[in-house]
Amino acid sequence: MPNIQHNARIIKGREVVADDWRVLRLDEGDAPETVEVPAGKVIVPLTVWQAQRESLLGRAGANGDIGVWFASDELAHAVKDDLDEFGVVAIDFPKFSDGRGYSIAFNLRKRLGYSGELRAIGDVLRDQLFQMQRCGFDAFATRQDRSIEDALKGLTVFSETYQASVDQPLPLFRRVQRDVPLEHSDVGAGI
């Protein structure tokens, strides 16, 4: 029997909102080909999408009630042709110290051009939110044993960033006007 998880509230658009999606997780012994996907808005594992694509495609496109989630060891390009079918794409963080989900998010946004809701699920904590946002996440299902209102503050910990990323394509030195004498042709002059 698959495991259905539901967060009553998530962070989306920099505010706490009600969540109408449920996450389907396979239990040991569940086969992606035969697991029953319940009615309603469900985010299924990539393996279930791949195994049941033809039957889920109608629900995804017509109703927009199918999403897909990636495990941290799966690749974003696995669904490159189906990205427009999903109401949401989620990336699972199995533990706080596993950063592979950041790369998946970056690849979905920058290389595959995904513009829909990109949600972080799993072991998602306040300390991660700012960097997750920089990589392209715009929704966060934080751990239920922590305060979601406190986690929301994690999106505004820093007022400025130095590096370029999904949320800011130019590094700081390219965004700031400096009075540098013309004799300096070094790119880093005036920093």
pLDDT of residue 31: 93
Domain match, 171 and 100 both = no
Q: What is the residue whose two structure tokens read 């904590």?
A: 125
Same domain, 150 and 173: no
What is the number of structural domains in the chain? Answer: 2
pLDDT reported for residue 145: 92
> Is there a contact between 112 and 83 (Cβ–Cβ < 8 Å)?
yes
What are the distances in angstroms from CA 46 to CA 7, 69, 103, 120? 20, 6, 17, 15
Q: Are residues 141 and 173 in the same domain?
A: no
pLDDT in tens, 20-67: 999 999 998 899 999 999 999 999 999 999 999 999 988 766 568 999
pLDDT at position 13 is 87
Q: What is the pTM of this model?
A: 0.84
CA 162, distance to chain mean position in Å, is 22
Can you read off the two tokens belonging to residue 132?
């997750």
- For 117, the token pair is 């809701």
Rounded CA-CA distance 31/58 in Å is 21
Q: Are residues 47 and 129 in the same domain?
A: yes
121 and 98 in one domain?
yes
42, 47, 50, 53: CA torsion to nearest 10 = -30
pLDDT at 49: 96
Can you give the CATH number for the domain in which 8 is found? 3.40.50
Domain span at 169: 160-191
Task: Collect the ranges in the chain with pLDDT lower than 70.
Answer: 1, 60-63, 178-191
Spatial separation of the C-alpha atoms in residues 136 and 109, rounded to whole Å: 6
